[in-house]
Structure 1
Amino acid sequence: MTAVLTGTVTSADGTTIVFDRCGTGPALVLVHGAFTDRSHPTFAHVAAALAPWFTVVNYDRRGRGASGDTRPYAVQREVEDLTAVIAAAGGSAMVFGGSSGAALALTAAARTAAVTRLALWEPPYHVDPTAPSLPRDLAARLADLAATGRRAEAVELFMTRAAEVPASAVAALRADPSWAAIEGLAHTLAYEAEVMGPGNALPTRTAASLNTPVLVLNGGASPAWMRNAGVALAKAVPGAAHRVLDAETHNVSPRALVPELLEFFARG
C-alpha cells in the first residue's frame, strides 16, 4: 500500500486547502470536477496507480471536502488555490484535470508558468449545436437556489441542463442514500458554471496562449458533442495531442485512464 499523507496549504485569500500526497518523483496535481472531492474513487485510484512514478497531490477544491470556502467566489481564487497547491508540491507540477476541473486546469495553466504539462479529460465546452442548451445566467441561478435553501433544485438544474441526466434518473437518485452528499455540494455548482463560462464556450484565446505540452482525452462512448469539443480544443492549443479512449464514457475508468496519463507525464 502506498502511504497517503494529508496536508494543508493557505491560498492567497486565506482559504485553507486540504490535499493528500502520495508517491515519489516529479509532482503531479489532480483537479476534480463537479460533485466530487479528493475522496472520489476515480481520482483516488489514479493517485495510487501513478504514485510509483510521481508525487501525486490530490486536493479538495474550495467548498468541498475539508477545504475552506471564503466568499465571494471568483475563478481567480480557484486558480490561486491550485497555484498554492503546486507551490506546496515543490513550485512546479504537471496537472491532470477532469471535466470542469479540466477547464479550471486549463485556465490556471494560461495564468501561471508553474504548470509544466497538462492533461485534460473531457472539459465540457460547447462547440456545436448538439451540445446541451444552457441559460446564460446559469451560474447566477445556481448560486441563488443554493443561497436560498433550494439546494435540491440547484442540483436538479445542473444535472438536467448541464450534465444531461434524464429527469427520471434524477428523481430516482433523490431516493438514494448518496443524495444527501450530492445536495451538500449544491453551493459549488455555481462555481463550476463560473469556471466553464457563459454557455460553456470554448476559450479559444486562452487555449491559443498555452506554451506547455497538452494532451486532450475523450471517451469513445461519450456524446459526440464532447468529442467534438475535445477535437476543437486540441486544435486551438499549439502542438496539443488528442486521444480517444474506446468504449469509455464521461465517467472514465481509471484502468483506461492511467496508462494514457503515465505515457504522457513520463515524457516530462
Structure 2
Amino acid sequence: MNTVISRDGTPIACHSTGTGPALVLVVGAFNDHSTGTQLAGRLAAAFTVHTYDRRGRGDSGDLAPYTVECELDDLDAVIDAAGGAAAVFGYSSGALLALHAAARGSAITRLALYEAPYDSAPRLGPAQRVGELVRAGRRGEAVEYFQAEIVGMPAELVTRSRSAPFRPALEAMAHTLEYDLTITGTPVDTQAVTIPVLALAGGASPTAMRERTHALAAALPDATARELPGASHHLDPAALAPILTEFCAR
C-alpha cells in the first residue's frame, strides 16, 4: 500500500498492481479498494492498475468539511502519483465522481463508467437525510434508508441484512453515504467532458439503470453506451476486463 496526500492534506491509501499504462479504479457506495481487487488482477497484464480507498474508508483519512471538490482532488492526487495521466474506470457513484473529474479537467485519457447513477435533475435531499441520521448516531438507520429509498431494496431484504456478517462494515462506512449522495445530487456539466467515454450497464439490471446509462451517453459529446448481457449491478471482472482492455488501450 502507498499513500498519496490530497490537496487538503488528507492521506489517501492506494494499491497498485501490474505493468503498463495507468488505469485507476474508482468504486462506489459501501466499497473500498478491495471491491476492485479481482478486476485489477485481470487487468494487470495490460495496465498498472491503481485502486484506492476513497476518503472516509479503509486506510484513507477523512478531513472535514466534506465537499465534492475534495474528492476530485483525491482522485487527481492518485492520477498524479500514477504518472500524471490515466485512464479511469468508475463504478456506480464512483462513476459519477469520475465523470465530475473529467468535466473539471482532470488528466483522464479515457473514461469507462459502469452504471453511473446519472440524473438530469439531481437533488440533495437524500444526502441531507443520511447526514442527519449519522450525526444522531443512527448509523443502522442511515444504512437502511440508503438500501430502501436509494437502492430500492425490498423491505424483507433490508430486514434480513441486519443480521448479515457484513453489516458492521456497512455501518462503519455509513457516513460516506452522505458523500456519495452529495456527488449524485450535484449537477455535472456533461458538455465539458470531451474525452472518449464508454458507458456500461448490466443487461440484467433494472430498466431504470439501463435507461440512465443510455441517457448519460446521449448527453456526452463523445460517448458510447453498451450493455453486458446477463450482468447485474455487481461487478463481473471476467466480463469487464476484456472490454476495458480494448477501450482503455486505444
Alignment partner of 2:38 out of 25, 45, 50: 45
Q: Identity of aligned pairs, percent?
A: 51
Report the CA distance shift for 1:61/1:51 in structure 2 as closer, same or farther (over 3 A).
same
CA shift digits 1:16-43 (9 cap, x unpaired):
0001011111110000000010012xx1
Counting only pairs closer than 5 Å after superposition, residues 109-188 of structure 1 correspond to structure 2 as 109-126=102-119, 136-188=124-176
Contact between 1:64 and 1:185, CA under 8 Å: does it hold in 2? yes
Q: Residue 221 of structure 1 contacts residue 246 of structure 1 at CA under 8 Å; is this kept in 2?
A: yes
Amino acid aligned to 1:226: M
Unaligned runs of 5+ in 1: 1-5, 129-133
Residue 211 of structure 2: aligned partner = 228
Structure 1: 4+ residue segments shifted above 2 A: 125-128
- Taking the TM superposition and a 5 Å limit, the aligned residue runs for 1:53-68 are 53-68=46-61
User: Does the 8 A contact of 2:22 with 2:87 survive in 1?
Assistant: yes
Shift of 1:236: 1.0
Q: Determine the C-alpha separation between the residues in 2 that align with 1:123 and 1:158.
A: 16
Number of residues of Structure 1 aligned to a counterpart in Structure 2: 250
CA contact (8 A) 2:42 2:238 kept: no
Query: Deviation at 1:166?
Result: 1.2
1:98/1:120 contact within 8 Å kept: yes
Give, in angstroms, the shift of residue 127 of structure 1: 5.9
Letter in 2 for 1:35: F
2:84 to 88, 91, 101: 91
- RMSD over aligned Cα atoms: 1.5
- 2:57, 2:240 → 1: CA distance? 24
The one-letter code matched in structure 1 to 2:166 is S
1:113: Cα distance to partner? 4.0
Quote the Cα distance in structure 1 between the aligned partners of 2:79 and 2:105.
10
1:63-84 deviation per Cα after TM superposition (whole angstroms, max 9, x unaligned): 0010000011000000000000
CA distance in 1, matches of 2:138, 2:132: 8
Q: Decide whether aligned partners of structure 1 residues 113 and 151 sit closer, same or farther in structure 2, where only a CA change above 3 A counts.
A: closer
2:192 to 198, 209, 213: 209
AA in 2 matched with 1:142: V
* Structure 2 spans left out of the alignment, 5+ residues: none
- Whether the aligned pair in 1 keeps the contact of 2:26 and 2:52 (CA below 8 Å) is yes
**2:18 counterpart of 1:35:** no
- Normalising by structure 1, report the TM-score: 0.90
1:14 is aligned to 2:9: yes
The 3-state SS of whatever aligns with 1:174 is helix
* Equivalent residues of 2:6, 2:74 under 8 A apart: yes
Report the Cα distance in structure 2 between the residues aligned to 1:147 and 1:82, rounded to whole angstroms. Answer: 26
1:103-123 CA deviation, whole Å, 9 max, x = no partner?
A: 000000111241111000001
Q: Which amino acid aligns with 1:259?
A: P
